[in-house]
Amino acid sequence: MSRIDLHTHTNFSDGSLSPTALVELAHQKGIKILSITDHDTTEGLPEAMEAIQRLPLELIPGIELSSEFQGQETHILGYFIDLADPQFQARLERLRSTRLDRIHHILDRLHTLHVEITTAEVEHVAGSGTIGRPHIAQVLIEKGHVKGMKEAFERFLGVRGAAYVRRMVPEAAEIITWITDAGGIPILAHPYWEGLNAAETGVSCRILVDQGLRGLEVFYGTFSARQISLNLHLARQFGLLTTGGSDFHGTFKPDISIGTGRGSLNVPSTVMDHLRQAAGR
């Protein structure tokens, strides 16, 4: 069983647990090294740091940023960022501001499809955290328009969904720079997310490495053994760091467990040794 989980979300973005509850769950499940990687925000980290004081658990500061790469939404993880960096925080604020616009556009589309939900309902689900599509999905479920998250994304919110709206986000090269400027290590999150094959992912890696990418999220909650071995191959080919995590979101992704993903996730401890070395920690 994996004692390392470097990809989790709290209710400061689209996870269902508070940072304190997440840290306590991680400890219960035997995790020793945890990273919280909320979308576009580090605001959950101070609470988590406070919560780990009482536990034999190490918290790695992290974030997951949305970017655009070759016309696709691409997620970049950042580890060991300096949370207090004012330039970084200002950049995050700008990135988050594009989210509400997009929600309005999606709700307009839903309206034309005779699916009536309001911004207030979505904001209520999101609470004070970064708002996103999973919060719309939750409202769709609660109001009986869909049975679950999967259906919400397939029918409405995903790239092939009827109410999909692209969000304007910076190019991957720029996001990589933001992370590097804040002293962090940029890692490509869940390669193959948008259904790219191995050859296409290899081409993307080559370009992203030239732009400053340092590693690949080789181990992931839903990856098959074959995907992991392809990723390891790519990491070796490009001399990249490897990381891994479940992408735990609590009830927003009910099939993913912390530490184990869909059951077989196992992040090797060498991952942390290399990541620490790279970060000089």
Residues 23 and 52: their CA atoms lie apart, in Å, by 7
Site for ligand AMP in 222-261 (CB under 6 A): 249
> Parallel, antiparallel, or unpaired: how do β-strands 241-245 and 215-220 relate?
parallel
- Residue among 45, 149, 209, 234 that touches ligand AMP (CB under 6 A): 149
What are the structure tokens assigned to 209, written together?
């490495």
**Residues of this chain, 35-74, that bind ligand AMP according to CB under 6 A:** 39
Nearest approach in angstroms of CB 21 to Zn ion is 17
- Of 149 and 185, CB closest to ligand AMP: 149
- Minimum Å distance from CB 152 to ligand AMP? 7
Count residues near ligand AMP (CB under 6 A).
10
Helix (H, G, I), strand (E, B) or coil at 30: coil
Read off the amino acid at residue 226. Answer: R
Could you give the CA distance from residue 85 to residue 95 in angstroms, rounded to a whole number? 16
**Following CA atoms 103, 255, 69, 95 in sequence, which dihedral angle do they give, to the nearest 10 degrees?**
40
The contact mask relative to ligand AMP for 156-175 (x = CB under 6 A, - = no) is --x-----------------
CB nearer Zn ion, residue 16 or residue 235: 16
| Nearest alpha-carbon partner for 199 in 233, 250, 167, 172 | 233
Contacting residue, 88, 186, 247, 252, with Fe ion by CB under 5 A: 247
Contact set with ligand AMP (CB under 6 A)? 14, 39, 132-134, 149-150, 153, 158, 249
Residues at the contact surface with Zn ion, assessed by CB under 5 A: 9, 14
